[in-house]
């Protein structure tokens, strides 16, 4: 048995027949070209699969695709716009927060959601926001620094506008 599901992913409606038990992470990855969302632990522990659902970070390995009918999903591919990297992507580059890269998509999306909600987070608020994601390479110091860099960069961009 399958069900018809239509989910808006990165601004584009995607319709597909799916098994009722198909996870959102697989729905996203099966869509051509959207393999940036990583599938890690299947238990909601690692955070590599974080996407934004209606602007809020969710772990796509624990949500059924059928539950997302009618919702807006943003993946890591949505961050770059018109050839311009998102400030959070720039921050990860500037502050050397990219190591093996496995956690990076989930970290980027979690950080984007944080800055959308709180444009000037403290170090403790950043650490709390990313606490649901595991990075085995950086020790989190560079990731926290990258998020602070992005917050400061966005603030300066707002002042220039």
Same domain, 145 and 115: yes
Q: Under DSSP, is residue 81 helix (H, G, I), strand (E, B) or coil?
A: strand
List, for residues 38-54, the tens digit of each pLDDT value: 998 878 889 999 999 99
Q: What is the pLDDT of residue 158?
A: 87
DSSP string, 28-56: HHHSTT---S----SSSSS-TTEEEETTE
Query: How large a percentage of the chain has pLDDT more than 70?
Result: 100
What residues make up the domain containing 58? 3-78
Last residue of a domain, one of 50, 78, 106: 78
Number of independent structural domains in the chain: 2
Q: Which residues contact 122 (CB under 8 A, 6 or more apart)?
A: none
Asked if residue 17 lies in contact with residue 4, where contact means CB atoms within 8 angstroms, the answer is yes
DSSP 3-state of 15: strand
Do 92 and 74 lie in one domain? The reply is no
| E-only strand ranges, 1-160 | 3-9, 12-18, 50-53, 56-59, 72-74
Residue 139 has pLDDT above 80, yes or no: no
Same domain for 10 and 73: yes
Whichever domain contains 103, its CATH number is 1.10.150.120
pLDDT score of 60 more than 90 = yes
Q: Are residues 72 and 94 in the same domain?
A: no
**Helix pair 87-94, 141-160: axis angle to 10 deg:** 130
Residues 50 and 107 in one domain: no
- Do 91 and 146 lie in one domain? The reply is yes
Nearest CA to 5 out of 39, 19, 42 is that of 19
């Amino acid at each position: 048995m399958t069900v018809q599901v239509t989910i808006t992913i990165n601004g584009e409606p995607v319709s597909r027949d799916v098994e009722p038990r198909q996870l959102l992470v697989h729905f996203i990855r099966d869509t051509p070209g959207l393999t940036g969302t990583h599938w890690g632990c299947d238990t909601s522990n690692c955070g590599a699969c974080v996407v934004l659902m209606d602007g809020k970070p969710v772990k796509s390995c624990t949500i059924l695709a059928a539950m997302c009918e009618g919702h807006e999903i943003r993946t890591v591919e949505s961050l770059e716009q018109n050839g311009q990297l998102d400030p959070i992507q720039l921050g990860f580059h500037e502050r050397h927060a990219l190591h093996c890269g496995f956690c990076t998509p989930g970290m980027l999306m979690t950080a984007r959601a944080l800055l959308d909600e709180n444009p000037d987070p403290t170090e403790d608020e950043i650490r709390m926001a990313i606490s649901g994601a595991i990075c085995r390479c950086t020790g989190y110091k560079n990731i926290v620094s990258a998020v602070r860099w992005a917050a400061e960069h966005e603030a300066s961009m707002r002042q220039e506008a």
